[in-house]
Amino acid sequence: MTGSRDPSGRRLGGRTGVGAPLTDRTYSDEDLIRIALALAAPALDTGDVPVGALVLGPSGEIVGEGCNAREATGDPTAHAEIVALRAAAVALDGWNLAGCTLAVTVEPCTMCAGAIGAARVDRVVFGCWEPRTGAAGSLWDVLRDRRLTHRVEVRGGVLEADCAALVRDFFAGRRD
């Protein structure tokens, strides 16, 4: 992997989402998922499933953010990961996101896992597992499939209970 890292492997540098750059900021995986949880909130206003994602650039700054926006935009591909990847590609002036980490509140689906691999993202951190559609180790493992030309380091289950509760509460509210 590339980019500035401390001895434990965490990325250095960064931005707190929309805010100003911070110097010597280190994001733990838990920090990234907390930010992604905050990014998920706007999806609730549009009736989208509350999933949030961000892309941490090679220098440790947040270069892309997103939440699910399928209902808001009418775009079937507007998953949080895709929205964040598109923003990161614009910010980094190209599709190749080598050296980047994507953090998302829910395990990526097959479509998102394909996009993550196509973008050459180095690492994915996610909150809760998705046993019905997950493609990062639950149902499929697209991100680490040895038959593909790019494999991604994956860490799942980060703040799993918080991420699962957000989605569970959303669907419980829709059933009432």
Q: Decide: 12 and 6 in contact? Cβ < 8 Å.
A: yes
SS (H, E, C) 142-162: HHHCCCCCCCCEEECCCCHHH
Reference 100, options 87, 70, 108, 77; nearest CA is 87
Q: Is position 81 annotated as part of the catalytic site?
A: yes
Q: Residue 52: left if φ>0, alpha if ψ -120 to 50, beta else—which one?
A: beta
Q: Of 30, 61, 71, 81, which one is the catalytic site residue?
A: 81
Catalytic center residues: 81
